[in-house]
Amino acid sequence: MLTEKFCRSYRCLVSGTVGVHALVRRAHEERVLSLLRDRGALSRAQIATRVGLSRTTLSEITGELLARGAIVVVNTDAKARAGSGRPAELLALDPHSGQFMGVDLGHNRVRVAVADASHEIIARGVSSYAAETPWADRLAAAFALIERTGRESGVTYQALQGVGVGLAGPQPAGSAQSGIVSDAFSRRFAAPVLVDNNTRFAALAEAIAGGDDVRDVLYVRLSDGIGGGLVVGGRLVAGRFGVAGEFGHITADRSGDVCRCGKRGCLETVASVPAVLRACRLATIEDLSAALATGDSTAITTIERVATAVGRVLADAALILNPEQIVIGGRLVRAAPGIVARAGAIVEAELVPAGGDRPRIRAARLGDDDGTLGAIAALFKQSPLLAGYPETAGSMQ
């Protein structure tokens, strides 16, 4: 309805009327293509709802796109097909026409996943290296992994449409590190390369995990360090200079410990894995799980304090951003899942004045491949039709 109203005013605005109908029609077509690129296979009903078109108008448009070969009918809806009744036909971009690769270059391992244009993961792999491995060797390990994974899965990378590479740590736009990585991948593959922080990619992966496609997500990861990512209006936020999502250096305790960044009492000095282990006088994250399981009072008190600090930081962020979901992930949360409910209660209490519906606070759903899945999702989101993420992210080649 909104779309139709706007098309009416738009038609008035571009007052020469020749070709305006076609212009509007193209805009509709592009929204359909962009939706399928972004979301994978969908039924006509799902498409109609999401692009705000009538079934009749949509039918005309999908008919033309099918005739033109831009989209195909796919049958991935096996579950519905097993049920009674004729299942709805699903439409998708031709899956054979594109491959999208996500790479996560972590501190001590590289992961890769490859999706086709219908969002099916057709290859994945992982390999390890020592934490101090120089960049050239990490890249060599990544390329060897990609080759091996392709061989094992029968994927030749001939139809590669894009490569998303996640790196650990903030990635300021134009940083040397992201430049090296971007150059290496661009030389290796004849496809656009997008380099970004792997925690931000994970945020995007969480936003669309389980088919939710939540458009406004605030994601924080509590691991050896603390990072985070924002999805606002369906798009990953890199920030003007590429360093959005630095939850780890928000001050949680002005009289706290000195952080590696030089400030005092950053959230990372309170809620990272090393900080928590130090406070509990424990050696490993497994020790922490065990201590919590046996009701160790130091561990329990520490985790409550940590959850309170995390909840306050998230509450402030939620007052500013008003997200639909707040997702807490990382190794600490896997060892101490109680953090989520406790931090959630703090957020709930602090949001009182804002009004409107409340954001949902939940634990991360995805495991260690959140970075690769998010990198692929970022590639899918890069439609040339939406002036979006890649234009602001900086590292696009």
Residues 284-343 that bind its own copies (CB under 8 A): 312-313, 316-317, 319-324
Angle between helices 176-188 and 135-153 (to 10 degrees): 40
- Site for its own copies contains 216 (CB under 8 A): yes
Closest CB 87 distance from its own copies, rounded Å: 25
Which residue's CB is nearer to its own copies, number 127 or number 186?
186
Closest CB 110 distance from its own copies, rounded Å: 23
Closest CB 396 distance from its own copies, rounded Å: 6
- Site for its own copies contains 172 (CB under 8 A): yes
User: Exactly one of 155, 191, 222, 303 binds its own copies (CB under 8 A); which one?
Assistant: 191
- Site for its own copies contains 359 (CB under 8 A): yes
Give residues 26-65 in contact with its own copies (rule: CB under 8 A): 26-27, 29-31, 33, 37
From 39-47, 122-130, 255-263, 281-289, span contacting its own copies (CB under 8 A): 255-263
Closest CB 180 distance from its own copies, rounded Å: 16
- The letter for the amino acid at 78 is A
Which residue's CB is nearer to its own copies, number 26 or number 278?
26
User: Exactly one of 84, 86, 357, 367 binds its own copies (CB under 8 A); which one?
Assistant: 357
- Site for its own copies contains 370 (CB under 8 A): no
- Site for its own copies contains 15 (CB under 8 A): yes
Which residue's CB is nearer to its own copies, number 166 or number 234?
234
- Site for its own copies contains 175 (CB under 8 A): yes
HEC-encoded secondary structure of the chain: CHHHHHHHHHHHHCCCCCCHHHHHHHHHHHHHHHHHHHHCCEEHHHHHHHHCCCHHHHHHHHHHHHHHCCEEEECCCHHHHHCCCCCCCEEEECHHHCEEEEEEECCCEEEEEEEECCCCEEEEEEEECCCCCCHHHHHHHHHHHHHHHHHHHCCCCCCEEEEEEEECCCCCCCCHHHHHHHHHHHHHCCCCEEEEEHHHHHHHHHHHHHHCCCCCEEEEEECCCEEEEEEECCEECCCCCCCCCCHHHCECCCCCCECCCCCECECHHHHCHHHHHHHHCCCCHHHHHHHHHCCCHHHHHHHHHHHHHHHHHHHHHHHHHCCCEEEEECHHHHHCCHHHHHHHHHHHHHCHHHCCCCCEEEECCCCCCHHHHHHHHHHHHCCCCCCCHHHHHCCCC
Which residue's CB is nearer to its own copies, number 125 or number 228?
228
User: Exactly one of 85, 154, 353, 367 binds its own copies (CB under 8 A); which one?
Assistant: 353
Closest CB 3 distance from its own copies, rounded Å: 7
Give residues 219-238 in contact with its own copies (rule: CB under 8 A): 228, 230, 232-235, 237-238
- Site for its own copies contains 73 (CB under 8 A): no
User: Exactly one of 263, 305, 334, 362 binds its own copies (CB under 8 A); which one?
Assistant: 263
